[in-house]
Amino acid sequence: MSNFKIIFTDYVRTVFQLEVDIRFWKGFVDTSIDKYQEDNPANTWIHAAGFSIYNIPLGGGTWLQTSKDTKAIEIEDLPKNNKDFFTWIMNVSLVRVYNSLELLLVKAIQVEYYPGLADPGKGRKEINKIHEAVRNDLKSAGLSAETKNQRHLIEFLKWKSAEFCLFMEVSVNPANWKTNWRNYFEWISTLRNLIAHQEMLVTPDVWNDMNSIAGDMLAHYFEAPVDRKNTEMLRPLDVQLFLNFVSHINDFAGNTLKYVAGESTMSFIGLDPA
């Protein structure tokens, strides 16, 4: 098995299972809620919870401290709670998919351009070595080594591969959108950061920034803020659209490997025409 096929297999192992889990459990939960509401037509609460922490004095002994706020779920609340639950499941899943993509990029760079460095799949130290090598070589070539949103990785691959450079200017879906792969990667990097570091909250400035980068795809896959002046939670429109969104990330991953490896088909990573 080639190194590139191993890289892609590792990526697929994570992303494919995630897609299967989300699709199955969304359908299963939807059906279960419908059946539960059918069997229990009278509304009543079915779950309640409170919040508490332990006060831990330096002198020893602990005391439980509780909040006056409680949360309850009633039968009629189940569809809304179902939607809210899968909202954060999809958001967190996006971070995992992005991290898998980032590792794929780093591994591909190591295999093709830095074979003398250790496999970045071994750990953070090895990953950092690849990032350092990329930044140093970009600076030596007089190119931008900006690390925000992993721009240095994209800049490096564009520098090293003429075909990848051309690919980044191609529209993700020419029939529907103007957004190209370069802007798409910048956008999903922004999404990953706001989920991981901003509690999934979208400020008006961040929404406007994303809209300027990939407005057509943003409108297709995510709910617009109810009030553009307020900070609101990032919400994918629905599960099927979210899985379609993830499929674009898969396309980006596979095609990036193809151009880095100098291939013309996907057979080198174990994929055949459907």
Average pLDDT of 102-123?
95
pLDDT band at 269 (very low <50, low <70, confident <90, very high): very high
Segment 121-148, tens digit of pLDDT: 999 999 999 999 999 999 999 999 999 9
Per-residue pLDDT at 1 exceeds 80: no
pLDDT band at 66 (very low <50, low <70, confident <90, very high): very high
pLDDT band at 61 (very low <50, low <70, confident <90, very high): confident
Reported in sequence order, the residue ranges of 14-84 that DSSP labels E, i.e. its strands, are 45-55, 63-74
- Written as one letter, the residue type at 136 is N
Per-residue pLDDT at 102 exceeds 60: yes
The closest of 255, 172, 166 to 217, measured between CA atoms, is: 172
Segment 179-196, tens digit of pLDDT: 999 999 999 999 999 999
pLDDT band at 67 (very low <50, low <70, confident <90, very high): very high
Distance (Å) of CA 256 to CA 81, 149, 181, 247: 38, 17, 10, 14
Radius of gyration of the chain (CA): 23
pLDDT band at 253 (very low <50, low <70, confident <90, very high): very high
pLDDT of residue 100: 97
Per-residue pLDDT at 274 exceeds 80: no
Q: What are residue 232's DSSP bridge partners?
A: 202
Average pLDDT of 214-219?
96
- Global pTM? 0.92
The answer to whether 247 touches 172, Cβ cutoff 8 Å, is no
pLDDT of residue 57: 87
| Alpha helix stretches (DSSP H) within 168-229 | 181-197, 204-221
Q: Percentage of residues in the chain with pLDDT exceeding 90?
A: 91
Segment 225-243, tens digit of pLDDT: 888 788 999 999 999 999 9
pLDDT of residue 58: 85
Segment 17-46, tens digit of pLDDT: 999 999 999 999 999 999 999 999 999 999
The answer to whether 152 touches 145, Cβ cutoff 8 Å, is yes
pLDDT of residue 62: 82
Per-residue pLDDT at 113 exceeds 70: yes
**Structure tokens belonging to residue 124:** 């953070």
